[in-house]
Amino acid sequence: MAPVLETKKLCKSFGALTVAQNIDFRLAPGDRHALIGPNGAGKTTFVNMLMGVLAPSSGEILLAGEDVTRAPQARRVRGGLGRTFQINTLFRNLPVLDNVALAVAERSGLALRLWRPASSYQLIKDEVMALLATLGLADDAEARVADLPYGKQRLVEIAIALGLKPKVLLLDEPAAGVPSEESNKILKNLENLPSEIAILIIEHDMDIVFRFARRITVLVQGEVLVEGAPEEIARDRRVHQVYLGEGTHG
Amino acid sequence: MTQASAQSSGYLADGRIRWTEWLPWVAALGGFFLLPEYLALGSRILIFILFALSLDLILGYAGIITLGHSAFFGLGAYTAGILSAKLGIHDNFLQLAAAAGAAALLGAITGAIILRTRALTLLMLTLAITAILLEVANKMTTLTGGADGLSGVVVAPILGLFKFDIFGKTAFLYCLAVLFIGWFFVRRLIYSPFGAMLTGIRENTARMHAVGAPVYRRLVLVYTISATMAGVAGALLTQVNQFVGLNVLGLEPSGDLLVMLILGGVGRLYGAFVGPVVYLIAQDYLAKQYPEYWYLGIGLLLIFVVLFARGGILGILDKWLPFSKPRSSAKASAR
């Protein structure tokens, strides 16, 4: 299938420090792809380049076939790229409903309406409530995000991204900082996401990676070390070396 | 689970006007009939409420911090003044419209330049712009009268009917009417999806970027709207005083305005009403009692508010008077 997101020879360096080197990456509709690698491998840099937070030094990013390498973040999002953040990046003082409604309003082009009260936009609220219901957040719609337990806040991250109806969803450590019983709930929700969305998950928790991903890319020092199915990655000697440190420091 | 507290904008807020929101207007009309000797002060207060509303829109809702809002106020004041004193255009609505247009243009242009920066840099740039305008007004004496001020401003009877009288009755009601329109507009705006979006930018800019909002363009837009309102407020001051002085530009009026808004309460619409009332009445009283030290009183008031009442005077009222809070009604709820 034609990739919905593709990078070609993507590079990024800060002065002499190279954090991404010739990354070739493809994501097709419906993919469940994991990006793993030790700390400092350049995973977040890669996501930031995809989103347009960081400009690559060279290389190309294609979203649904369109070159978005230099496009601002807003255009990429409108092109179908949604993300969650590793560290909660929410409207903490606003109700859960507003957190998601702001995303829905942007997507549906209603964010510049300045006459009728926001609360009269039933279409937006209905969509948000339906979305919250699928994530088990319906009862929390009116609660302030800051008052929610951390695990639920992580789900709000996902709800906001889904409010954009993304073609591609980047999940940056969706279960980071969540106790294991709650991370299970998050994983269940991830497994229930619409199957046509292409999902790239960046994760440290190997349980989640191997349960969720059907394809894995291992990033080491800014380079793709290996890409393959979970079984292949699990067997790969180089991956073991990287994670267990065998012989890597000579 | 605690419910989201007091929503004064957003998708759960009840946009209908509550009875408490009519109180300022009742008070203003009461003042008109009961305190005729204070109408000049009253008009000044109404003008600064409009000015403070425009600041609240960008500071309280969009989170743009500025010390240069007097640039638009002053430009509006001088535009109306020059139109009348130099070009002989005495129609009050034409003066307002020209002031609004000039301020909007300045807001769009300077906003497009400076809103790419944030925090302290932005603060300094806003200050620089109003300082430049002050210097220009000071030097272009043929147009502005420089330090002597611009006199000879004439305002024709409003709608051809209501002449500005020496007691300031017409002026007061005229300011009240313009303020009412401004308030109504801002109120619609902050309860709308646009207002919710502004709150989003203030609460978390990174997240607004990530949901696809072209944040910079939105900021320039709201900055322009706010500048327009400030320009109208400045023009009102000119029309009421029939004079423009250099004191409408520069740091001082910007700083005074900021203090007024903080006193009243930032980001809650009616803080812009309470702040100017308290500040300007205190100023009027203290300046009569202690002509040399009146700023001391204002300073103490500000210190008190910043130390003990971060939400301003309205923040204190919230704690004492439950009904002063905007409610998020069951009707507004999502089901």
Q: Which residues contact A116 (CB under 8 A, 6 or more apart)?
A: B15, B192
Q: How many domains does the structure of chain B reveal?
A: 1
Decide: helix, strand or coil at residue A146. helix
What distance in Å separates the CA atoms of residue B13 and residue A125, rounded to the nearest whole number?
12
- Assembly ipTM: 0.89
**pLDDT (tens place) for every residue of chain A, 250 residues total:** 789 999 999 999 999 899 999 999 999 999 999 999 988 889 989 999 999 999 999 999 999 999 999 999 999 999 999 999 999 999 999 999 999 999 999 999 999 999 999 999 999 999 999 999 999 999 999 999 999 999 999 999 999 999 999 999 999 999 888 888 888 889 999 999 999 999 999 988 888 999 999 999 999 999 999 999 999 999 999 988 888 765 444 4
Please give, rounded to a whole number of angstroms, the shortest distance from the CA of B49 to a CA of chain A. Answer: 21
CATH code of the domain covering residue A109: 3.40.50.300
Residue A31 lies in a domain: yes
**Which one of B194, B206, B333 has the shortest CB-CB distance to A114?**
B194
Q: Is residue A250 part of a domain?
A: no
Judge whether residue B324 has pLDDT over 80.
no
Contact A172, A46 (CB under 8 A): no
In a domain, residue B87? The reply is: yes
Task: Find the domain containing A137 and state its range.
Answer: 5-244
Is B318 inside a domain boundary?
no
CB contact under 8 A, B192 and A51: no
- Chain A residues with CB under 8 Å of B63 CB are none
User: What 3-state class would DSSP assign to A56?
Assistant: coil
In a domain, B256, yes or no: no
> Which chain B residue has the Cα nearest residue A145?
B4
Please enumerate residues of B whose Cβ is less than 8 A from a Cβ of A: 1-5, 7, 9-15, 188-189, 191-197, 199-200, 203-204, 206-215, 328, 332-335
Task: Give the distance from residue A235's alpha carbon to the nearest chain B alpha carbon, in angstroms.
Answer: 37
Residue B109: strand, helix, or coil: helix
Note the residue count of chain B: 335
Q: First CA to last CA across chain A, in angstroms?
A: 42
Smallest Cβ–Cβ distance between A106 and the set B206, B213, B335 belongs to B213
Q: Which amino acid is at A103?
A: A
DSSP lists the bridge partners of residue A171 as: A84, A201
DSSP A42-86: SHHHHHHHHHTSS--SEEEEEETTEE-TT--HHHHHHTTEEEE-S
Best residue of B2, B192, B226 to probe chain A, by most A CBs closer than 10 Å: B192
Residue A156 resides in a domain: yes
Q: Does residue A60 sit within a domain? A: yes
Q: Is residue A132 part of a domain?
A: yes
Considering the domain boundaries, does residue A249 fall inside one?
no
In a domain, B77, yes or no: yes
Using alpha carbons, select from A159, A136, A142, A186 the residue that is nearest to residue B1: A142
Q: Count of domains in chain A? A: 1
Flag whether B333 is in a domain.
Answer: no
CA proximity to A218, closest of A206, A231, A205, A228: A228
Global pTM reads 0.91
Distance CA B12, CA B323 (A): 18
Write the DSSP string, A117-135.
-GGG-HHHHHHHHHHHHHT
Do B73 and B261 contact (CB within 8 A), yes or no? no
Residues spanned by the domain of B124: 19-248
